[in-house]
Amino acid sequence: MTARKSPEKASPAQASTAKTFPVSWDELHRNARALAWRLLDLKPWRGIVAVTRGGLVPAAIVARELDIRLVDTVCIASYDDRKQGQAVVLKSVAGDGDGWLIIDDLVDTGRTARVVRDMLPKAHFATIYAKPAGRPLVDTYITEVSQDTWILFPWDIDLQYAPPIAGERPTR
């Protein structure tokens, strides 16, 4: 009889996502507008910094709703499909972020958010969705989801058949 090696605990980024949370275009738009409502009276914003690529659509909606015309981007590559790797800064922005609003779709493990936070420490960071591991890095968010949930954004999905949830239960 051979001893079985106990599995190592996976980090949140490596853990398989047991649940999916599909988001429609309508829902994303509604939540981005809700985010704008929360940000409306906080301060007059100098502009928005969208975190590419996921923050581009929410940033456009928030910019429209708050009548902000100055929108810049910070470009960070950290995901390859569903695997999070090292955060690589492709384009940064100058300054410390004072008076600026950072917009992203989601804060997950906080790896990307930490890079942006370090780059723009005085900016206000807002996301539509927040997971527990990254939540402390953002100032404002709309919806919290569990760490083991994979959010399917409308730009990442195609309409097709989905099996019933009950069929995904592990067999006993």
Active site residues: 104-105, 108
CATH number at 20-159: 3.40.50.2020
Domain boundaries, the chain: 20-159
Provide the whole-model pTM. 0.81
The alpha carbon of 101 is separated from its chain's Cα centroid by a whole number of angstroms, namely: 15
Task: State residue 79's pLDDT score.
Answer: 66
114-134 per-position pLDDT tens digit: 999 999 999 999 999 999 999
pLDDT at 172: 67
By the 8 A CB rule, do 102 and 76 touch? no
pLDDT by residue (tens digit) across 22-49? 999 999 999 999 999 999 999 899 999 9
Give the whole-angstrom CA distance, residue 76 versus residue 1.
Answer: 49
Nearest to 58 by CA among 38, 30, 84: 30
Q: Does residue 80 have a pLDDT over 70? A: no
Q: What is the pLDDT of residues 149-171, one digit of tens each?
A: 999 999 988 887 878 888 777 77
Residue 66 DSSP symbol: T
Buried b (16+ CB within 10 A) or exposed e, 65-102: bbebeebebbebebbeeeebeeeeeeeebeeebeebbb
Average pLDDT over residues 142-149: 96
